[in-house]
Structure 1
Amino acid sequence: MSSPATSSDREKVVSKLPGWLRQNLKVRAAQHGIEIQAAVEQGIRDWCTLASTPPAVDTSGADSFSTFLPPGQWDEFRQVATERRVSLIQGLAQSVQLWLDANPAPHVERPEITRRIIVCNQKGGVGKTAITAGLGEALAEDSDSLHAVRVAKALTEALRASDTQSDEVPGGDDPLSVENLPGLGLRVLLVDFDPQCHLTNQLGAAPLPMNGDSLTNHMAGDPKGDLRDLVVSVDDETFGGRLHLLPACNDAFLLDVRLSAVRAREAALERALAPLEADYDVILVDCPPSLGLSMDAAAYYGRRRPGETLGQSGALIVVQAEDSSADAYELLTTQIDDLRGDLQVDIDYLGIVVNLYDSRRGFIATSSLQGWVDIKDPRVVGLIGDLKEQKEAVRMKRPLLSYAPKSQQAIGMRALAREIV
């Protein structure tokens, strides 16, 4: 059936579609960035012009489906369906399937040069590990499924309205600020570069034994095997085998000492990870709260390589909305700027993530947030609230985006991923 719509150029049509076909249509339309009604319109138009009836589609379990079509198209469709002796439900299902066949899922765009993101801050306890994990998970989510994402304008509104928070990020409870978008589907390696092994433990993996091989050994020029053999998969259907982890080892406490005897020690991390880069689109390094040689090596690894565009790789700085983060930020940026000058390399800042934010902490939090926003370069690219889901995911040793995929923190992680890719 059809009825006049509020728009003067389209009419509302109500029919039925099986749930699986409706979901495929919803995802595919999002992947191509078009409205569902435009896809159905094109599918019906193509179906009506076919020389013969296409194969039948299983419509068992079909339930109500509505859309908007140009005036007269549904009447034409009904006439063609009558001539072909197929029901309207079957004809509509064939039309949708026809559009799906003509518009396959687009291939995931993969960078020519593996992107390297260094998640850092000299201060401990700001949540670098949580951001590394959440960002990596958001980058690796299934591109054939839809996931809730906070749109960019919502971040701006949140930063403006930082004094309106109850127990969520400002603006986080506004359904109009969230869109359902396909996952990014990238191949991601998380590197736990912190001897405290927080990332390794949070994702339920085991730290590497002190008497075995490790990233530290490879950086120090004393490998005991292939580094690839140390990588483990974060086994969760949400990530489809695309998310991997290089676990840490407590021997990283000795890394600075061992690096002191290595030639060209700034490039030690790059030399160690180079054999793995062909397997991944993005490598995220969870850095220790240190300003030593290990941080030099991490920053150098994130430098802009020949042929790489501005902002493809670099440093993502995690802070909190409080004064000590500002002090640590100054120390970190000074170190990176010194490295830039000493080695004549370009190390880009990918942005600032304000983590564990809660405006109920009062003027300190809100004024500090404003201070980060006022920096402008690098700009704030993420605002993540201090909510219970992240802590629960850590306790359960599960990825946040599979443990609580619709939480405000998960939605914010996906927004962050889209801000920097």
Structure 2
Amino acid sequence: MLAVANQKGGVAKTTTVASLGAALAQRGRRVLLVDLDPQASLTFSLGVDPEDLDVAVGDVLLGEKDAGDAIVVAEEAVHLLPSTIDLARAEESLASRTGREHRLRAALQGVLDDYDWILLDCPPSLGVLTAAALTAATDLLIPLQCETLAHRGVGQLLDTVHDVRAYTNPDLTVLGVLPTSYDGRTRHARAVLEAITESYDLEVLEPPIPRSIRFAEAPAYGLSILQTATNHRGAQAYRDVADRLLA
């Protein structure tokens, strides 16, 4: 189970989850994507309208429904545990409940054997939902926009990882950072990656994901870039990252 997290918004968490999910499905893996953001960006990106949903991840976290009741089949052979705006209210309710960090892991137990990969799309915060995702996950991937301000929050995220390992999930592994919106022609982008590896001793997953308007266009079709721009270098980059994860 792979959590994709970074409390800074706009670093391509949702794009990474959707694209890696599609790439893993193309490799014949059974894939479940879990949308843990009340903004439901992943749900929208996969062509599912949150307004049409009767059951979503918030109901599952509150114990009102089983995960299997909420999972829908999206495009590109991936399954989705979708989100709606009601997840914001569910998060408020969870904050005062016992065992809140363990709710997601418990909720997914019943479907673990149905999937080879479960990818968790975390919200842009270090609140209850991200803590629950890190508690449930075996591994963490940190998308990182290659700009100075983008990497300032990595230390805070790693502090949270330290706490999670200490109290709720001692086996959580940080796979490393995935550079996104990368322009290798600029000295600045390369310097940011060097600063990350030196400051935090994190592995940089390659290839970096290039900056491209094609990523912003894909959600309008309810598909990932692997379908809307099959031969684009951004699509190939995500396939290569998926192959690295499988290896």
TM-score, scaled to structure 1: 0.55
Letter in 2 for 1:369: L
Structure having the higher Rg:
1
Determine the structure 2 residue equivalent to 1:249.
Answer: 84
Determine the structure 1 residue equivalent to 2:203.
Answer: 379
Over residues 256-302 of structure 1, what are the superposed CA-to-partner deviations in whole Å (9 max), with x where a residue is unaligned? Answer: 32112322111100111111212110000100011111111110001
Q: Which has the higher contact order (CA 8 A, sep 6+)?
A: 2
The reply on whether 1:411 has 2:219 as its aligned counterpart is no
**Structure-2 change in CA distance of 1:256 and 1:232 (3 Å):** closer
Counterpart contact for 1:319–1:352, Cα < 8 Å: yes
Q: 2:59 aligns with which of 217, 229, 232?
A: 217
1:125-274 mapped onto 2 (5 Å cutoff) = 125-141=10-26, 184-207=27-50, 212-223=54-65, 226-236=66-76, 241=77, 243-274=78-109
Secondary structure, aligned partner of 1:354: strand
Letter in 2 for 1:218: V
Secondary structure, aligned partner of 1:381: coil
Structure 1 portions without partners, runs of 5+: 1-115, 142-183, 303-312
Q: 2:130 aligns with which of 292, 295, 306?
A: 295
Deviation at 1:344, TM superposition (A): 6.2
Determine the structure 2 residue equivalent to 1:286.
Answer: 121
Cα distance between partner residues in 1 of 2:69 and 2:211: 36
Cα distance between partner residues in 2 of 1:332 and 1:318: 12
Cα distance between partner residues in 2 of 1:404 and 1:261: 45
Structure having the larger proportion of residues in helix: 2
Letter in 2 for 1:355: T
- My pick for the range that moved more, 265-274 or 372-381, is 372-381
**Structure-2 change in CA distance of 1:342 and 1:420 (3 Å):** same
Structure 2 portions without partners, runs of 5+: none
Counterpart contact for 1:233–1:245, Cα < 8 Å: yes
Secondary structure, aligned partner of 2:205: strand
Determine the structure 2 residue equivalent to 1:324.
Answer: 149
**Structure-2 change in CA distance of 1:235 and 1:209 (3 Å):** closer
Determine the structure 2 residue equivalent to 1:369.
Answer: 193
Counterpart contact for 1:230–1:246, Cα < 8 Å: yes
TM-score, scaled to structure 2: 0.91
Letter in 2 for 1:294: L
Counterpart contact for 2:56–2:81, Cα < 8 Å: no
Deviation at 1:366, TM superposition (A): 2.8
Secondary structure, aligned partner of 2:172: coil
**Structure-2 change in CA distance of 1:276 and 1:347 (3 Å):** same
Deviation at 1:190, TM superposition (A): 0.8
- % identical equivalent positions: 34
Cα distance between partner residues in 2 of 1:215 and 1:261: 18
